[in-house]
Amino acid sequence: DAKTTQPTSMDCAEGRAANLPCNHSTISGNEYVYWYRQIHSQGPQYIIHGLKNNETNEMASLIITEDRKSSTLILPHATLRDTAVYYCIVRSDNYGQNFVFGPGTRLSVLP
């Protein structure tokens, strides 16, 4: 699986947009970009995923660059409850490919 690189930590003011970057420069054509988050002492929560088009759901937007070597997760109006570790994961749709969680980005939403 392609590896991802994320900043270790980020801060964001409450009510502002949180933009979390992820680099995946060795991504292959059949590999998707997934985002999960994990709030302290809870299980990871699925946020969104995409292949090459930008995606949006009720939680967030995912912007993938045209060359697919990087992506950004956008939380449009961050709240204190969005404080969590955010994981960017690249995974193919081949059978048996499982999610590999790296260290992620620790996002702190500040009042």
Residues in the site for another protein, rule: CB under 8 A? Answer: 34, 41-46, 49, 93-103
Can you spell out the DSSP letters for 67-100?
TSSEEEEEETT--GGG-EEEEEEEEESSTT----
Nearer to another protein, 61 or 97 (CB): 97
Shortest distance, position 4 Cβ to another protein, whole Å = 12
Nearer to another protein, 21 or 102 (CB): 102
Handedness of CA 108, 48, 36, 101 (dihedral sign): negative
Nearer to another protein, 58 or 67 (CB): 58
